[in-house]
Structure 1
């Protein structure tokens, strides 16, 4: 695993906090998404224009994704799932503009996976009650408690490593391609890696987003109904 070095440090409550490139990229993405949200949602009309049609297509897709995979009772998760999907999509495709994806930083993927983990546990407790929640750890037999605990703990581990591993693999392949083309002309380095960028940054990046979001939805539903 490649070590991530901070670009600079800031003092926060007496502690020196390192700020890596992945953090800055996420800040930029958050600001960009906020700007796009304001742009696409201002002056909404009954008869939509082209700009409004775009955001309605996105919202319809997210609504359908949640409804088809979680059911009508879970439509309150549309904002959460939609935010995850949009944020992850932007992070995974930054390689198209020459910016290292934030998801090749394991601390980022672990943070996202921990958010999923806590949301899964919180919603299960909220829906079925804390007593039923803990009872589920020993059903149908008490001796499965260690297995159930490992299963729950492995959720953020598997989610984070799956996303990190796939994104890092794509980055390594692209960097190897650039190094292999180093002895050729600059034109070759500029043109030949384009298909790799489209596959690993765009196609694979969006696929990894879908997988992460799908697993998040499945775990929310399964744990809440165990």
Structure 2
């Protein structure tokens, strides 16, 4: 693993904050996605053109995913789920343009996992009230309290480590392939890496996006109904 070298640092009180390359890449992705979203969603028409038809197809796909796994009462999560899918997919695909995926950084995946943890538990509190939410930890009987607490804590840990581990392993393997191909000459770096990037960036990155998203939406429903 490469040594972490912050691009710049600052302090909040006595706490040092180091900003590295992966965080910068993540911010750039957020900015680019924000601009693209604005450009694609302005001037929407009743009779859609090709651009709007593609957007509506994506919205319908996300809506079917949410309603099929969570139910119609969770339709308000369509924007969140859609944004999570696009954001994760974009970060996982940066290897296609020669930039290491930010999701190979544990701090990035931990932040994403904490976000999902807050959404999952915040939804449960909003739907059931704080008292009933706390009571759920003692269901079906009080001795289950430690196990129920552990179950809630394991979710963000599992989300963060699974995404981090898979993307880091994929990045290392791609680097090893490039290093190996370098011994055979430049010509081997032209065609062979397409297969490598196709699997480790597109296929594996897509699978990790699906796993992270599905675990998030399933836990939103299950814990809010617990």
Do both proteins adopt the same fold according to a TM-score greater than 0.5, normalized to the shorter chain? yes
* Match in the other structure for 1:36: 36
* Match in the other structure for 1:109: 109
Deviations 1:193-222 (A, max 9, x none): 210101111111111101101000000000
Contact 1:124-1:225 at 8 Å conserved across structures: yes
Whole-angstrom distance in 1 between the partners of 2:115 and 2:43: 33
Helix, strand or coil at the partner of 2:146: helix
TM-score, with length taken from structure 1: 0.95
Contact 1:127-1:224 at 8 Å conserved across structures: yes
Q: Which runs of 5+ in 2 are unaligned?
A: none
Contact 1:137-1:145 at 8 Å conserved across structures: yes
Instruction: Output aligned runs, 1:42-61, within 5 Å.
Output: 42-61=42-61
**In the TM superposition, what is the alpha-carbon distance from 1:4 to its structure 2 partner?**
2.9
* Match in the other structure for 1:72: 72
Whole-angstrom distance in 2 between the partners of 1:12 and 1:133: 33
Does residue 133 (structure 1) correspond to residue 152 (structure 2)? The answer is: no
TM-score, with length taken from structure 2: 0.95
**In the TM superposition, what is the alpha-carbon distance from 1:14 to its structure 2 partner?**
7.3
Helix, strand or coil at the partner of 1:9: strand
**In the TM superposition, what is the alpha-carbon distance from 1:57 to its structure 2 partner?**
1.3
Contact 1:4-1:105 at 8 Å conserved across structures: no
| RMSD over aligned Cα atoms | 1.5
Instruction: Output aligned runs, 1:142-153, within 5 Å.
Output: 142-153=142-153
Deviations 1:5-61 (A, max 9, x none): 212224556765321111111111111111111221121111111111121111111
Deviations 1:155-199 (A, max 9, x none): 100010011111111111111111111211112123212101011
Helix, strand or coil at the partner of 1:200: helix
Whole-angstrom distance in 2 between the partners of 1:52 and 1:99: 30
Worse-superposed segment, 180-189 or 207-216:
180-189
Query: Between Structure 1 and Structure 2, how many residues are aligned?
Result: 226
